[in-house]
A and B are shown apart, each in its own frame.
Chain A
């Protein structure tokens, strides 16, 4: 229907409840997770073929397909983003097999997970704003339900409700902004939007549309002050879902902002990016100050995601090729780092059943592998060389200095220094003397939880030591992003 990767994911999404029902019938709950993981693995293989194709042809576009006459336009950026989503999704699926073993409704869980990943892959493959919006809603709706997955807990329901309302309002403004754009140009195609608004002097409606879209996507991206739903939702969701939400879902917002900025809003880019620049600094400061006194581990990590989004937005707001390279590399790195961190937090939660940091003092002594992987991810989040977070932050800071925005670079550096305060607090918690009974009797997490964690931690180190191959792909992605402006701006 669309493209093999996306089709496959949708097929697995639809067939998941049936397979899950059958699996429950024969009392093999594990099969649900295995099926989902298999689907993601095959999707990964298909994505690799797509990657080969894209690296030859630059762009694959397939207009007017399917039920709502969707328009897909796959370039290197789309493939790169999809690889992050499917990769993290695969790790999370394997992790969830054991993590969700005690829960009811596992088939629904995996269905929603696959639906969310399909939505995200659709977003990055979309060639026009409407297609993007449809997949956006697919992602959003499934993520609302996933946050509320533990439906008997008040916390989950409250968080999901907040998330639903705020995100819904955001989607509404996006839709309104899109309709302005359509009304002015008669097209929602990125190429068409770029040529319609690229050269003409901007009119007030375009500013208004850009504003509405910024606010709408800003909710998902968690730009301060639109971030208030995030700590609740990310903390209340099951840990693998927190890893997805924090690791990749908020990054679809960054992706959408980047995409729209370099197509429809080329002519208002300067003003738009200067707003974003201010917002990015506010976002990273708030994201780094809020978790300082936080005692809830997952909430702390959720706040830190806001700060990390701030770094990415800083890269976007600089707007040069190098800065965008930093942003997208950080996107990948953040998926790895925050994914690992949340999965580790989940492993600890799974073992001792608490998210409160003062109750988990010394857990690293009992769960050394988890603790080491956790520490690696936290050091990477702090931006410590030779880990991957350092590389991308360095690129963003370098880009800031090159564009004579030294203050922005300094802000990023100071913020990552500040962030060390709470990341190191977690590390300290891991190695403190054991206080509680629960910790004293804890054991290392099961192997199925450790495998994805260790694999991702290894990638954090690997990319930190040898970032060149990844940077090359990111550079091609950024070139793909800039290709619209290249034609228009000459």
Chain B
């Protein structure tokens, strides 16, 4: 009896701390890589960490949007990222003096895009995917046009420092990403906004009737997502030393992938910043592994797509069980026969 209880509480613990799965995944994959390639070292780990940091940053924003529930996803992230990298080249133009005003302008742009997305979703009740898909298209025109006006690939020295230098051996960008993760985790777990966000994602109607200002909560998530994406675009541009049209593309799927791999519920209501951290690292490790294995880029895409679908299909069972549990309460008149069958 006690044994059963012990195993139950372990299952309970992993259900509450879903970040453990991607963490275990990272450990296994890293161990395998170290053994198999023997070249895979701390050195290459820091490369993985830097790549993961950019993904982690946009992933945190995406996580907030996904947590608002009802299948909400921000598909404009990749366009915001590319556009802001171009704007950084044009506005900051490689001078430290222009850094602050340039950054302010880019942040303002991020906030403005977030507000537009939020207005479309909250006020006009357009599905988030369609609204953000469309704003993403409009922004894509923006960076295609911006591409014609870039004065050259000059990066402000201060920006270059942040994007590429290290403090005590740790890349600054990694520290930035870790701080952002800690801040997000704090907001999610310890503040009124975090609670309200979870409530909105679990049950929008109930949240409104419980007095949660649902429109604000959803709107803030969208604004946060595009603002973070804008800042990440500047950093990524500084890191690669310029900008190119497809630079945001991988982040479309990977930002969602990192969130889902991390254990945040795709249907909203429950987010884990730590999970998104491990999810980002895992996804980048998978990509790195494929590169080390010499897989052609096409195959890499196929495998990334497969990983997302398989993880979702497996995690789908998790929320199904939740739903099954819910449907056994006496209030639910229409419990489906299939689930009834499972329950007895």
Task: Say whether A associates with B.
Answer: no
- A residues touching B (Cβ–Cβ < 8 Å)? none
